[in-house]
Structure 1
Amino acid sequence: MLLVIFFLTAEKMKISIVTAVFNRVDTVADALRSVEAQRYQNVEHVIQDGGSTDGTLDVIRQFSASSPKLVSEPDAGIYDAINKGITRASGDIIGLMHSDDFFADDLVLQKIAEVFRDPEVDGVYGDLDYVSSSDADKIVRRWRSGPYRADLLKRGWMPPHPTLYLRREVFDRWGLYDTSMRIAADYEATLRYLVKGDIRLVYISEVLVKMRVGGESNRSLFRILQKSREDYTALRRYGVGGINTLLAKNVSKIEQFFPRKGNPK
């Protein structure tokens, strides 16, 4: 009986998944399929397309039965598109599914919903695998984030953003993404929620999302430098640190290519 009550209570919680997409005809189907395959039933998939012209919209419309909340219109960049999607979302919990990503298994949202049964929890995150853009079964980098502690922020720590799920109230109270930042608005927003909002995060020690390599922030030296400038701006804005923190943030990524023996798959 208790198991039945728990299941019904968990399923009442609506989770909104926001996908911002523009010209991703080769990968968007995997993202959509991944959401559709989740065993958790109370899911809303909000798709914000930037006016794709490569066939992406045709692919999305094939999933129209499970993803009815599609809007295609010009935007001012990925964070503007994400903000539009969050504004349209009606869920109690909101997370992102980028158009190049997919869930690690079909129970991810169920696990997230179980943690959110605790009303004191503001956010949930887990681990992330980077996979080859040409072979999604080939892992090239493992991001094992570990439990959150406030002192870790000065060492450049942050949760893997594609795995982060937040209560709607976090966005309502502490705002959406700063669109003046072109690459690091996710980092700025995470620092804002943690430092100004003092939100409570819970870590799921499992890989929740797999991401194809080749993201926007690493496409060129110029973009890498731009991201570093924006990261530094965010660090100074919230008094978390400066150059040393920025260096630690970048250096910490190296070990993700050489995971320690015994790290979870």
Structure 2
Amino acid sequence: MLRVSIVTICFNSVDTIENTIESVLNQNYPNIEYIIIDGSSQDGTKEIINNYSSKIATFISEPDSGLYDAMNKGIKASTGDIIGFINSDDMLSNKSVIRKIVKCFEESNANIVYGDKKYVKRYKLDQTVRYWKAGTYRNGKFQNGWMPPHLSTYIKKSLYDKYGLFRTDLKIAADYELLLRFIVKYKNIPVYLPTVIAVMRQGGISNSSIKNRLQSLREVYISWKLNDLEVSPLIVFMKPFRKVLQFFKKN
């Protein structure tokens, strides 16, 4: 039976962390290793996490140098065959979703499985504001501004061991660079699971300000150069256009 490591990154998340934890612990797949990496929260987050200590495999609370440094800590702490992330503003969509992901890995023999993602209002979780329907991967989709939703993407640990972790010199789009590296540069064809995997509250690093959005697009373009891949500068226009379309898919 494949072991799934699920990693949650958090910092001062007292209002949302319990929903995240419950969404993981309520999964009906029996072989889950749950890891929480906290950036030394001071608002009561750690106390909530400690209430679940008997069900959490690893809990690290210490300062870090950013989101992707914390994610790398989670990967290094993982012992599972498959690694996925669900952060402290996010929830797994239902109690069977990890079982479905594992079944997809087993039936497809894939190294990467991804699905859809739904954004909801921060305090009205039943109201969808954006639906990220990822769709089936084809060669050339990354060049057209596509990427799979990172928090709805599960990856074999062996790929991290072989191709490396998140780049910490990229502050906003290191998830994009890692997926580009794994999928396009090293040609690990991902398999699409047509279901919502992650539910995310409104917000997020790359969407929080105009400055961050511009920095994200800059890092997207840089990611291609870092991997010695050719890409049109038009990608910085195509990627946000795809995001706009998601607001019209609220089903």
TM-score where L is the length of structure 2? 0.96
Match of 1:232 among 201, 206, 221: 221
AA aligned to 1:40 is Y
Q: Residues 139 and 109 from structure 1, CA distance in 2 versus in 1: closer, same or farther, beyond 3 angstroms?
A: same
Match of 1:42 among 24, 31, 50: 31
SS, match of residue 129 in structure 1: strand
* Aligned residue in 1 for 2:247: 257
Aligned-pair CA distance for 1:237: 2.9
AA aligned to 1:247 is F
- Mark the runs of 5 or more structure 1 residues left unpaired by the alignment: 1-11
TM-score where L is the length of structure 1? 0.91
Whether 1:244 aligns to 2:234 is yes
Aligned-partner Cα distance in 2 for 1:210–1:28: 13
Contact 1:38/1:109 (8 A) holds in 2: yes
Aligned-pair CA distance for 1:241: 1.4
Contact 2:218/2:236 (8 A) holds in 1: no
Aligned-pair CA distance for 1:221: 1.5
Q: Which moved more, 1:63-72 or 1:231-240?
A: 231-240
AA aligned to 2:242 is S
Match of 2:41 among 38, 46, 52: 52
* Aligned residue in 2 for 1:124: 113
Aligned-partner Cα distance in 2 for 1:248–1:166: 26
Aligned-pair CA distance for 1:249: 0.9
- Cα-to-partner distance string for 1:159-200 (whole Å, 9 max, x where unaligned): 011000000111001110000011000000000001222112
* Aligned residue in 2 for 1:9: none
Aligned-partner Cα distance in 2 for 1:217–1:141: 15
Whether 1:173 aligns to 2:172 is no
* Aligned residue in 1 for 2:126: 137
Aligned-partner Cα distance in 2 for 1:52–1:107: 30
- Mark the runs of 5 or more structure 2 residues left unpaired by the alignment: none
Aligned-pair CA distance for 1:240: 4.5
Contact 1:236/1:242 (8 A) holds in 2: no
* Aligned residue in 2 for 1:109: 98
Which ranges of 4 or more aligned residues in structure 1 deviate by more than 4 Å?
Answer: none
Aligned-pair CA distance for 1:68: 3.4
* Aligned residue in 2 for 1:3: none
Aligned-partner Cα distance in 2 for 1:173–1:189: 12
Aligned-pair CA distance for 1:157: 0.6
- Cα-to-partner distance string for 1:116-142 (whole Å, 9 max, x where unaligned): 114731010000000111211110000
Q: Residues 240 and 257 from structure 1, CA distance in 2 versus in 1: closer, same or farther, beyond 3 angstroms?
A: farther
Q: Which moved more, 1:99-108 or 1:118-127?
A: 118-127
Q: Which moved more, 1:183-192 or 1:250-259?
A: 250-259
Contact 1:120/1:200 (8 A) holds in 2: no
Whether 1:23 aligns to 2:18 is no
Aligned-partner Cα distance in 2 for 1:68–1:205: 29
Aligned-pair CA distance for 1:223: 1.1
**Structure showing greater Rg:** 1
- Cα-to-partner distance string for 1:187-240 (whole Å, 9 max, x where unaligned): 000000012221121101111110011111111111111111111101333324
Contact 2:111/2:155 (8 A) holds in 1: yes
Q: Number of matched residues?
A: 250
SS, match of residue 24 in structure 1: coil
Aligned-partner Cα distance in 1 for 2:245–2:105: 31
Contact 2:17/2:89 (8 A) holds in 1: yes
SS, match of residue 171 in structure 1: helix
